[in-house]
Structure 1
């Protein structure tokens, strides 16, 4: 018996094989179907999908044999690894010096005929074979050989798909773990930073009120600066926490939303006293999307339209229109407007234009980046059109 030579790239080949995490896995229907097809096409009682490990041959799928693995020294398939571009075809193993005294030839399962096509991945490594076996001498015709080659390609594609799915699951788990860390981070900020910060704001306010008229201008400015800086820091922290809560919204959780009722509820939440003129119209009665994500988007855009408005009376118009593959939402205002050169910048995290809102507060640069992220998760895009002094129109889409 001739033991198959070890391939020159054996270390890299084994690394590639183990990267698929498929050794010693349970049977899977897709692979079982392929071995059945191979057996039927080639009219053989035995067919297998084999993988050659360092010291063994393991069967991912098999028909007509009870073993789940064999020693590598006895594996016909190990010989096939050395010629990955060829089919190993053994018409009668009893007359082949490489196999004539192989225990699987002289004993059960009495391998006489063997044909194996190497399973070669996209990097050129032969991982194993798809093979067919019979107990009598025979040869495969051209159609059967071509079919066996095609089935080997399908097996490799299944390996790649399986690997991609595993990596996706691992990535999703990593994201979930990071999200848990972010939640913990938010808790630490909320508990360990915001609590003393609230005390600072409260004390600064008390000092400002109780010392009014009793201290000089410089001292009053220091207290005012302390108060304003603390308020801005609290606003930034609130924005960071809200940002991380929003980006973790499960946008795959969708429900039916009545557009008109949704808009009326959202407007009432933002402007309960009806201090501003906010109108809406829609040619869409019902949409299916994630309500939490949509509400955060709309609340943020309407709130910005109010805050960054330098007119005596705020006017906002909201429209919802059905397009071919998506719903288009547009929120326009009569505010101070945005310079065209800043259109991209406003969607960058922590990027601000340095302007104060109508309440004399500075922005955090978090709101619109969160909106852009959520819109993307809903399968859409967002853009802005604006003219300084006249107002802005934010248009975003939601995939149907």
Structure 2
């Protein structure tokens, strides 16, 4: 028996298969009808939609077979996914690759096999639509053509299924996002309206110090509104644009400076010292819009949890093929139970040191923005006295063909 070698793009092939989120799912009528049609057209008692992962072939749909999966090492389909066209074995007993295969010498006693690769839009063959008989035979040209067409229909159903699942997920996210925004926007808007109304009515009788205090309150509330709306717009763009990121080589320091301009007055309100330790000649391969949004969000969180008269630090260092950016504050520490779920789900937002509110959506969104640029984001666990968020962007030396 000869086991098939791995596909030349095995890593990408497996990633594409997993992306469909179809392995170990229930039967679905659309796939069962295609399997039945393949069996009828080809005149075979067995027909399968077989998906090949790293250790098995699993059957999304089957006709004439009880098994749900078989080991990859003995699967005919692992040979079929290496071909560009239908892979046909007319008599397995006479084929040196299969004559002693357990699927030939025992149940289901395969003699004839024909498998059309299921090729995803990115070119990855994730499995086959195959027909099997217990007797030697050969498909004619029309049957081969029909099997090829049906295999394309299987992929079409996979794409439709994935699209519908994504729409369902986006719909659920929308409901959560809009409900949260509707709640969280009321507080800063009420603050803006109340403080502005008070200024308008009492400005002539208020002391300069009180006017300054009210103005700072308006500023703080306005920035909260801005951040919420910015996250909403970025969230929408990341899901509905054809391209989620546009990478180019960018000097990092100007990105940080433009991102922090918005918060200079807010930090002054809490007398926070801001330290930026980033070399002027350090560049990254990044999407400028997404990166500025990430920095703004992390800085806003740092300001929120930094008490008066303390400091916030931003630093960056090249590390192998990446640049690691760190945003640290030595204020109120994030609770341990919250730390565990920061990037895995939407977490309940905590109030800041001056009662600042938030929506609990920012970090999950920032994770998406970092990962779409090929980086990672995490909360440093080995610094018990600070909150330090780290994220990586690609170093220009690790990329080619990007300007």
Q: Normalising to structure 2: TM-score of the pair?
A: 0.49
Larger Rg: 1
